[in-house]
Structure 1
Amino acid sequence: MPHERKAAIVTGASRGIGAAIATRLAADGYAIAVNYAHDRSGAQRTVESILETGGAARSFQADISRESDVIDLFNAADAQFGTVSVLVNNGGVTGGFSRVDELSAESLTHVFAVNVIGAFLCAREAVRRMSVRHDGGGGSIVNISSRAGDLGGSGEWVHYAATKGALDTLTKGLAKEIALEGVRVNAVAAGLIETDLHAAAGKPDRTAKMASSIPIGRAGLPDEIAECVSWLVSPAAAYITGAIVPVSGGR
């Protein structure tokens, strides 16, 4: 059964996991604010796929590492759809594959600005709207983390893994902070997922090469992440907060 129509913001929803989450939540009955930083055409494809199935969606450009953009995003979504009751912090960058001794300060700053500061800013705006402390009606925040946060990303992207570790800490700490305010906070720790992220980072064959390291024997699909998000924001998960759910094929 679809939920009563409410509004959801999905950051980084122009492609891959974000697009799958936006589409799945739209099928659940949410009006979707499809956020993108640069890929306007990709975001519009996500919107069109939602509209074609009778859902409600609109794209909103915002660089989530910029406080003013985040504030504008939430205000615009409020004006378009009403107060947001779900935030999915999916927007992020990898910073490319690199050893720690080859990283630049510029690259590190960018990765942490988007993946960590951006998630904090979006969570802040969401809490200000959802929390009963702020006269909100409650809601749910789901952070899209990664198993890299536990595994470390050695030899590839320790910098990216470190941002996901920070996101896990945000999940657990914020969940406890607002547990009595009607807002649940959880995370999905994605494993190796078939998206263009790997090609964009410079290793298009990465999932094929790493499939043997996954107990289930294959990489995951964006829709499998989206299904978990759909469950976490639903009434079926009403007693779950502060959880980091691995969707990783056992890896």
Structure 2
Amino acid sequence: MATVVVTGGSRGIGAATCVAVAEAGWDVVVDYVRDVGAAADVVRRVEALGRRAVAVQADVRDAESVERLFAAADAFGGPLVGLVNNAGISGGFARVDTVTQQQLDDVLGVNVAGPFLCCGAAVRRMSTAHGGSGGSIVNVSSRAAVLGSAGEWVHYAASKAAVDTLTVGLSQEVATEGIRVNAVAVGLVDTDLHAAAGEPGRPDRMRPTIPMKRSGTPEEVAAAIVWLLGDSSSYTTGTVLAVSGGR
């Protein structure tokens, strides 16, 4: 049986992705940081679909935690075939001239260092150059990387631009080693990211700016992620796919 690791898998897009991954026939390692109850609920939902799942508390900014996370995938016994780098934080609302050192450390740590460390762990397991059998990596980015998010969270947007660059560069490094690397650039989606940043009503405020005039759902993003993970996208790598309602 093949396994997919999903970081930030206990809530929002991550939780929806874990369920979609299980529906596609893979076992799941569910990474979480604090909410053990939410992670356990995701595990139950995956197991109800007939797949194996385990929740692992791991901070993606920390290399030892990342290795522990991927060791859980190793323990399943089957090959690791996928990684979804979903863990991310906004860092809160701030103009560039008010962003603090702590905000930068947190945002760049989770959103940039985390995907780098997780990609490295995945490549060491999946790459044919390391004795693996190949696989797929999907990074969760944001349309903010292109739009800039001026006056709200340029620091977050910049971190997601780094994710886009990681996606393109890594895809070229491992293109002949059986690994495809892509990203989804997420638009306005109804998750708790907005409340965590301090404005739970942000989706309502932003909807008029979206051509489709609605927010997306975590399930819609998860469907795109699973497509990029699977064989249906076998000739797709180095792509940043906008899932954003046209914005």
Q: For the residues of structure 1 that align with 2:19 and 2:7, how far apart are their CA atoms?
A: 13
Residue in structure 1 matching 2:10, options 7, 14, 22 = 14
What do residues 39-96 of structure 1 show as CA deviations (whole Å, max 9, x unaligned)?
Answer: 1111111111111222221101100000110011111221134331100000011111
1:7–1:30 contact (8 Å) kept in structure 2: yes
Q: For the residues of structure 2 that align with 1:250 and 1:107, how far apart are their CA atoms?
A: 30
Q: For the residues of structure 2 that align with 1:52 and 1:73, how far apart are their CA atoms?
A: 22
Partner residue of 2:151? Answer: 155
Cα drift, residue 202 of structure 1 = 0.6
Partner residue of 1:56? Answer: 52
CA distance 1:151–1:82, change in 2 (3 Å):
same
Q: For the residues of structure 1 that align with 2:35 and 2:238, how far apart are their CA atoms?
A: 32
1:188–1:229 contact (8 Å) kept in structure 2: yes
SS in 1 for 2:56: strand
Instruction: Work out the percentage of aligned pairs sharing the same amino acid.
Output: 51
Aligned length: 247
What do residues 100-129 of structure 1 show as CA deviations (whole Å, max 9, x unaligned)?
Answer: 111111110111011100100000000000
* Matching residue's letter, 2:217: L
Partner residue of 1:219? Answer: 215
Matched, 1:37 2:37: no
Residue in structure 2 matching 1:67, options 63, 70, 77 = 63
* Matching residue's letter, 2:94: S
Q: For 1:113-132, what aligned pairs fall within 5 Å after superposition?
A: 113-132=109-128
Matched, 1:208 2:204: yes
* Matching residue's letter, 1:56: R
Which deviates the most, 94-103 or 10-19?
94-103
Cα drift, residue 167 of structure 1 = 0.1
1:31–1:81 contact (8 Å) kept in structure 2: no
Q: For the residues of structure 1 that align with 2:116 and 2:37, how far apart are their CA atoms?
A: 27
* Matching residue's letter, 2:147: L
Q: CA RMSD in A?
A: 0.8
What do residues 170-227 of structure 1 show as CA deviations (whole Å, max 9, x unaligned)?
Answer: 0000001110000000000000001111011111111011111000110000000000
Matched, 1:97 2:99: no
What do residues 114-159 of structure 1 show as CA deviations (whole Å, max 9, x unaligned)?
Answer: 1100100000000000000001000000000000000011111000
Q: For the residues of structure 2 that align with 1:177 and 1:188, how far apart are their CA atoms?
A: 19
* Matching residue's letter, 1:86: G
Q: For the residues of structure 2 that align with 1:122 and 1:83, how far apart are their CA atoms?
A: 16
TM-score by length of 2: 0.98
Matched, 1:46 2:42: yes
* Matching residue's letter, 2:71: N
TM-score by length of 1: 0.97
Matched, 1:197 2:193: yes
Partner residue of 1:136? Answer: 132
Partner residue of 1:249? Answer: 245
Q: For the residues of structure 1 that align with 2:77 and 2:144, how far apart are their CA atoms?
A: 35
Unpaired segments ≥5 residues, structure 1? none
Q: Runs (4+) of structure 1 moved beyond 3 Å? A: none
1:211–1:217 contact (8 Å) kept in structure 2: yes
Q: For the residues of structure 1 that align with 2:130 and 2:46, how far apart are their CA atoms?
A: 31
